[in-house]
Amino acid sequence: MPSTIFPFNTEDAPDSSDSDPSEFSPRQQTMLLRITVIESFFSFVCSSLIVFSYIRFPSLRKFSLQLVMWLSISDMGMGVSYFLGNPSSGDPRCYAQAMVMNFFELASVLWTVVIAYTLYRLIINQKTSVHLMGRFHVFAFGIPLVGTLLPLFTSSYGNTGAWCWITTPEDAAADQVKGVDWLDKGTMWLVLVFYLPLWLAIIYNSFVYVVVTNSLQVSGSEGKRGEERRGAERRGEEEKRGAR
């Protein structure tokens, strides 16, 4: 049943009586989208506050916070895509939602990689990354742009149930191996333009934070030992002066 609060369309969703038990019913899809919209709204508000604070207060305009600002802008764009509801396949809003969602979802992931990279350079290599900002934009926005345009050439955008994104074939001929045909174009784009970069980002970010954490712990231990050594030396000098 369509929502009376949000104009969510579920006409492309499979009927609950004929659908696979593992699939969401139209009512479940509507509820899922309502929850997603509410979460996206709060995320949008919080990200907006970060962007506003960066612009409003000059003291916050530092390189590290600039990276956080661009991450927040990507999160805002991702939230906007969910505000478009659940348009039907072929509807211009469906293409807009799918492309905006795909672009900003991946951009948000890649900005976390940029932050991890700059942290690694700063802590491990003792180098700043301010001069690399242009390259960061090409990386974090250029790759999502290419990844968003590619599915257009195979008409792979459409309604996926609760929203529009990259679709995969639903006909029986395509579902040959355990319900998934890994050779269909939709699945190929899902893996290449989102899930593969996502998992690579998770692995890289985890590696960086482990290395940085260990480095900081070692530096902290060395600093503590150095302070203890200097304290012992000062006490020794004081004892020598007292003996004289």
pLDDT tens digits along 11-66: 444 444 444 444 667 777 677 777 877 877 888 888 889 889 888 888 888 898 99
Residue 177 backbone dihedrals phi, psi, to 5 degrees:
-115, 100
- Could you list the residue range(s) of the whole structural domain that residue 143 is in? 26-171+181-224
- Model pLDDT, residue 5: 34
Is residue 241 situated within a structural domain? no
Domain of residue 88, CATH code: 1.20.1070.10
Is residue 200 situated within a structural domain? yes
Task: Give pLDDT tens digits along the chain (244 positions).
Answer: 333 334 444 444 444 444 444 466 777 767 777 787 787 788 888 888 988 988 888 888 889 899 999 999 999 998 888 888 777 878 888 899 999 999 999 999 999 999 999 999 999 888 888 899 999 999 999 999 999 999 988 888 888 877 788 887 653 333 344 444 445 788 888 899 999 999 999 999 999 999 999 988 877 665 555 565 665 556 656 656 666 6
- Model pLDDT, residue 11: 44
- Model pLDDT, residue 241: 64
- Model pLDDT, residue 19: 47
Is residue 79 situated within a structural domain? yes
Beta bridge partners of 180: 177
**pTM of the predicted model as reported, rounded to 2 decimal places:** 0.73
Residue 71 backbone dihedrals phi, psi, to 5 degrees:
-65, -40
Instruction: Count up the domains in the chain and report the number.
Output: 1
Is residue 15 situated within a structural domain? no
- Model pLDDT, residue 175: 38
- Model pLDDT, residue 137: 96
Is residue 7 situated within a structural domain? no
- Model pLDDT, residue 3: 37
Is residue 20 situated within a structural domain? no
- Model pLDDT, residue 173: 38
Is residue 32 situated within a structural domain? yes
Is residue 4 situated within a structural domain? no
- Model pLDDT, residue 112: 96
Helix axes 92-123, 196-243, angle to 10 degrees: 30
* Beta carbons of 97 and 51 less than 8 angstroms apart: no
